[in-house]
Every structure is written in C-alpha cells, then in structure tokens.
Amino acid sequence: MPIPLPNLDDRKYDDLVEEIVSLIPRYAPAWTDHNASDPGIMLIELFSFLFEAMMYRQNRVTEQSRRTFLKLLNGRLDGSADLMTDLTVKQAEALTIQKLRERYRAVTAEDFESLVLAMDEPKMARVKCLPGLNLEGEDPGTPREGHVSLILVPFKGEGPLNRPVPSAEDLARVSGHLDSRRLITTRLHVVGPSYVSICLSMTLTARPRESVSLLKARVAEALRRFFHPLTGGVEGRGWPFGRAVYASEVYQLVEGLDGVDHVDSLTLYIKEKGVFKDSGRLIPIGHDALVDYEEKNTMNRIRILNSHG
C-alpha cells in the first residue's frame, strides 16, 4: 500500500500566536506588555497570519508547480517542449517516472552489459564486462585502474559459427553508444572474445542393442552444444568466460545421454602454437576467453564399443 502523505498544515493561526507569545519571556524578558494593542503583538499576529497562508499552500501544489517539478526531473518529455502541455499531469508524471527508471548511465559492470544488450543495432547475444582491465593493451592481464573492458559476442559474426566475433563496425558502434554514458574518468575498451581451441579423444561403451551410428551422432551433438559460446555450459546459456574445461563435467555430460552405458577413457587436448597437446584432467581458460571445440580436427575422436552385457 502507498505511504500516506503527511499533513504539513496542521497548525493554525491561534496556535502560532500562542506559541510565539509563550517564547517572549525566554528571549525578551523586558517585554512585559502582551496585550493585543502592543505593536510587537500586532507584528506577531501579522506574521502568524502570513505563515498560516504559506502553510496552507504546502499541501495544495498547483498544476503549474507540478509541471515545473516534472521539467526539473525530465526536462523535455520525448525531446519536445510542447508535449508536456499535451499530457495531463498524471500522464506526465507516469512518463517521467518511467524514464527515470530506465538505465542510462554506465557505472557498474551490470550497467555496461545491460546497455549493450538493450541496443537494437548491433544486437549482441552475450556481453561480458571486465572492470579494471585493458584487453587492448600489451599486458591485458595486469589490473589497470580506471579501465573497463567489454567483450562482445554476436549472434552471427565474422569467423566460424562455433566462434562468432563482432565486426569492426559493431565494435565502433557499441563504443560510440557507451561513450556518452560512461563516467568521464573511465577508459573504455570494446573487443571481441578470444578463443581457446580444444578437442578430445573419448572411448565409451554403448548399452545393449544401441545403434552405434546414432549414438555417435548424439554424443557429437551434445559435445558441440556443450562447448558452444552461445548454447554451451551447464546452464545452456553459452560457455562461461574463463570457465576451465573439466574432464569430470564431460564424463557427467556423456554418461547422462540415452544409450551410453559408461565412458571408458577420456583425454583432453589444448592447442598451443598450432599443435594440440595433452592437457590432463582440465583445460585452463583465460578470464576473457571462450572455448572453440574443433570437432573436425583429426585429433578429435569418439570411439564407441558395443556392450554384450
């Protein structure tokens, strides 16, 4: 329920005169004539009358005053100086409140991400804000006070489908959009994501009477979606930035599929200097990076054994 408005004019003329007269002995003890004929008492009554009139108006704000307050809050509604007069006061108040609730200034990481995702063009699938870093610098991992880096992942962009990258035009438009909304001391860097190329070698056992070809296609599709920058991850919202690839999560994913009895072995590979190397039980991913699952690489193998149990 709404908070009740306080009554600001609850004191009347007689209350004001009585209160002021009661204070005379404290502040002016030599003033002993408190009769109505006294010039001082006459002035007290005059000021009490004027003050009562002022207090009466406090709870009775005129329509013109309301419109003036709205202009202080919102300036010109929708950029038109005449639109204010075309709206009722209640309509103008509702529109002003709606605009005040809209996010405009970029201060927090959430502000930057929300403002970009709200853009009509270019439309981004994901945005990651990393405060305190300059991803365009020579040492992107070193903290930089006052710097903010924004990583954009488009729905479709340059590069393969499994590693979308925003175009130079998209980066420029987003940077220009945020330039007027950032704090003047913030140095903004808008970049695309970096990708860590991975693949794997897996051997699994199928359940009895399971089609090997269909199961292999099912496993390949599950892995493809799991590592994808837009549909990957445990929650299916895209592989999280900086999230390492753990063998245990791949085991859990594959063994949860229909037709899979168990996974016999799994080897994870990471590409370093153009060559895939055994990465053990996990693949580290940089805080600004996503996963590029190179499914068609010759090192990537899915082997399925028949179960005779």
Question: Residues 247, 146: one domain?
Answer: no
Q: Does residue 263 fall inside a structural domain?
A: yes
Between CA 10 and CA 223 the distance in angstroms is 72
For residue 275, the SS3 value is strand
Between CA 90 and CA 225 the distance in angstroms is 50
Q: Does residue 134 fall inside a structural domain?
A: yes
Residue pair 141/194 in contact (Cβ under 8 Å)? The answer is no
pLDDT at residue 95 in the model: 81
Q: Which residues of the chain have pLDDT under 70?
A: 1-3, 5-9, 74-85, 157-161, 307-309
Q: Does residue 93 fall inside a structural domain?
A: no
pLDDT at residue 272 in the model: 93
pLDDT at residue 79 in the model: 46
The residue from 169, 191, 213 where one domain ends is: 191
Q: What is the pTM of this model?
A: 0.68
State how far the alpha carbon of 106 is from the alpha carbons of 2, 138, 148, 233, in Å: 31, 26, 11, 28
Between CA 64 and CA 70 the distance in angstroms is 10
Between CA 239 and CA 74 the distance in angstroms is 41
The residue from 172, 191, 210 where one domain ends is: 191
State how far the alpha carbon of 184 is from the alpha carbons of 107, 127, 128, 146, 171, in Å: 10, 22, 21, 10, 20
**Could you report the per-residue pLDDT of 76-126, keeping only the tens digit for each?**
544 444 456 677 888 888 888 887 777 888 999 999 999 999 998 999 999
Domain hosting 165: range is 109-191
Number of folded domains in the chain?
3
Tokens of 36: 């109505």
pLDDT at residue 104 in the model: 83
Question: Residues 224, 123: one domain?
Answer: no
The residue from 160, 191, 222 where one domain ends is: 191
Q: Examine residue 4 and say whether the peptide bond preceding it is cis (omega within 30 degrees of 0).
A: no
